[in-house]
Amino acid sequence: MDKCTHGFLNILERNKPFLGMVFVQLVYAGMALFSKAAISKGMNPYVFVAYRQAFATIALAPFAFFLDRKKADPLSYGLICRIFLISLFGITLSLNLYSYAINYVSATFASASINTIPALTFLIAVAFRIESFSIREFPGIVKFVGSVVSLSGAMVFAFVKGPQLNFMNWNVNALQKTNANGTHDLSSTKQKWIQGCLLMFLANTTWASWLVMQAPLVKQYPAKFRLTMLQCLFSCIQSSVWAMAMERDLSSWQLEWNLNLFSVAYCGVVVTGLSYWLQLWAVENKGPLYAATFTPLILIFTAIISAFLWKEMLYAGSICGGVLLVAGLYCVIWGKNKEAQIEANKVKPTDVREAANV
């Protein structure tokens, strides 16, 4: 192996968490496109959630059995109950709240609200003393400022349009027509709009809480494939009960060989299965805030993919917001890396005593 190849492999090894989380956001961008297409064609959103969790459970089961067979300790009743409650609160509740809330708010607001997750995760992690924060230390200030800049960039990306970028000469008038729940539908009453905003915020809060709760859970049960599969299984059961309670028409549960089946399989196998496991791995290695700070990239990836697939027009405000998103993201990552370096360079008291004895 030559030096160039060896150096390239070393770079990949050092940046595995970064590359993994960027891939997760690309996966979520695909989820936004496929799930929107399926639900807009009439698929019940609660049934959609139940099926995607079922596909995720089936996809993860072989990996959980073969790869984590030696890692997994016997599950106690207390741990099973804890996993069940975390799945209910963090996955099932979050996904179903999001599906319900999107009926009352615009898709633009829904996409922008997702980017409150890093800030919410930061506050929850600090409250539970999982993440450190000190205004007296420069890395802590950079982390806080980066979170604010990233959140501000998300708001600018979603709400500030500015002049259109007509470099592709696309006709936007015919392309901006959306369905009844689309981006430009703001005909909901003020009461339902407020209700939708609060529910969307609650959905993001539960998801941020799920990220925080994974850190101690992974330490207690390090078999990540099996842990992810159990959470998907419990979420599938919970979502199925919820969907059957909300949708009594059995025809809504029929799947055919069409876009609905592909979307459910993609969201279940790739999104819920693979990306959940990658997020657990990132939380274990870098902490919940690191995993959450990559969330703003979903807006950028979705906008780029939509521009080429649906020929949606880009605006100057979107470009400026994207710059702020990336700048804030790198500020948070730099702050975390700097804190890790400072912590690693600290001399432990035991090391000092050993050096003195020598």
- Over residues 1-27, the pLDDT tens digits come to 566 666 666 776 777 778 888 888 888
Sign of CA dihedral 280, 286, 289, 291: negative
The answer to whether residue 177 scores a pLDDT higher than 50 is: no
φ/ψ of residue 52, rounded to 5: -65, -35
Cα 165 to chain centroid distance, Å, stands at: 29
> What DSSP element (H or E) covers 283?
helix 276-286
Q: Which of 58-62, 116-120, 184-188 has the highest mean pLDDT?
A: 58-62
Residue 133 binned pLDDT confidence (cut-offs 50, 70, 90): low
Write the pLDDT tens digit of every residue in 62-118. Answer: 888 887 777 767 788 999 999 999 999 889 999 888 877 776 765 656 666 777 777
Q: What's the pLDDT score for residue 84?
A: 95
Lowest mean pLDDT among 58-67, 194-203, 334-343: 334-343
Report residue 312 as tokens.
Answer: 């949606």
| Higher-confidence position of 331 and 303 | 331
Q: What's the pLDDT score for residue 107?
A: 60
HSE-CB of 197 using CA atoms within 13 angstroms: 9
| Residue bearing tokens 């997750």 | 117
Residues 6+ apart with CB under 8 A from 219: 284
The answer to whether residue 172 scores a pLDDT higher than 60 is: no
DSSP β-bridge partners for residue 138: none
Q: What is the DSSP letter of 116?
A: G
Q: Which of 193, 213, 195 is CA-nearest to residue 205?
A: 213
Task: Give the integer Cα–Cα distance in Å for 96 and 102.
Answer: 10
With contact defined as beta carbons under 8 Å apart, do 187 and 74 qualify? Answer: no
Task: Give the integer Cα–Cα distance in Å for 272 and 288.
Answer: 17
Lowest mean pLDDT among 54-58, 136-140, 226-230, 303-307: 303-307
Q: Which of 278, 348, 324 is CA-nearest to residue 145?
A: 324
Task: Give the integer Cα–Cα distance in Å for 302 and 72.
Answer: 37
| Higher-confidence position of 132 and 213 | 213
Residues 6+ apart with CB under 8 A from 38: 48, 259, 260, 263, 264
pTM for this predicted structure: 0.73
pLDDT > 70 in the chain, percent? 79
Q: What's the pLDDT score for residue 173?
A: 47
> What DSSP element (H or E) covers 41?
none
3-state secondary structure of 164: strand
Mean pLDDT in residue range 261-287:
81
Q: What's the pLDDT score for residue 216?
A: 85
Mean pLDDT in residue range 246-262:
86
Task: Give the integer Cα–Cα distance in Å for 246 and 79.
Answer: 30
> What DSSP element (H or E) covers 224?
helix 224-246
Q: What's the pLDDT score for residue 272?
A: 73
Report residue 29 as tokens.
Answer: 């961008």
Task: Give the integer Cα–Cα distance in Å for 35 and 271.
Answer: 11
